[in-house]
Amino acid sequence: MSEQRATRDSRHHHPMPGTKVQMQVSRTFTDEEYQRMQWGVLPHDMDDRWFIYFEDNWFFFHRSWTGFCIYQVRLERSDTGWSIAEAWANGDPNQFRRPEDTQLFLNVIDYVLLGKQGL
């Protein structure tokens, strides 16, 4: 886990543009995973591609180099843990060209936000 929690003020970033696409993605996380996710991600060097923070029940995923908001995700408590209630992708083709790629989104959660091995 990072030694510092990421916040909106941790790094320069841009808001999600008005052109966004709702993603149809289903995923549930354990309480432990949800707690870990709330710490977010602070990039430490040029190889770190994501800046992610949690605010007002939403996770905000920004590209570290451009500051563009690529994803916004809200989780809700469910019987089995924390489930994705809403997920949005940046739909501006000048900022992001793969809003329909839900596997990329899930990979960012698993390997960047949760720090799982394998990518």
- Whole-model pTM: value is 0.93
Chain centroid offset of residue 27 CA = 13
- Residues 74-104: tens digit of each pLDDT: 999 999 999 999 999 999 999 999 999 999 9
Among the listed residues 14, 47, 5, 29, the one whose alpha carbon sits nearest the alpha carbon of residue 106: 29
CA distances (Å), origin 99, targets 13, 17, 56:
19, 13, 23
- Residues 58-75: tens digit of each pLDDT: 999 999 999 999 999 999
Q: What is the largest CA-CA distance in the chain?
A: 40
Whole-number Å distance between alpha carbons of 48 and 68 = 14
Whole-number Å distance between alpha carbons of 92 and 55 = 23
Confidence of residue 18 (pLDDT cuts 50, 70, 90): very high
